[in-house]
Amino acid sequence: MSEYRLVKANAAGRDFVVGDVHGMFDRVEEALSRVDFDRDRDRLFCVGDLIDRGPQSKEVARFLDQPFVHAVCGNHEDALLQMHARSAQPNSELWLDGADWWREL
């Protein structure tokens, strides 16, 4: 995994930044709707802590695969990757929602 990626200026659309979504996908969708986000021209940069705590972590994780989304790893994502690498059960101290969404995904 690369530590950085150069992203060229977006001459065709607008760029937006969001962070600390914490599994609240409805709020992301609502915000994108409010700014009339154009998925063909605009870009969304997600700056970490996108999953865990809220009820829609699975939706957030799937959303990150969209071509207009660019994301960096926050401490909640890092904890999930470490848990997955160890094939461990979710740690209730880290995963307030129990990480059931991860098992389903």
CB 17 within 8 A of CB 47: yes
> Is there a catalytic annotation at residue 84?
no
Closest CA to 27 of 67, 69, 57, 65: 57
Give residue 68's identity as a one-letter amino acid code.
F
Q: Which of 22, 70, 76, 84 is catalytic?
A: 76
Active site residues: 76
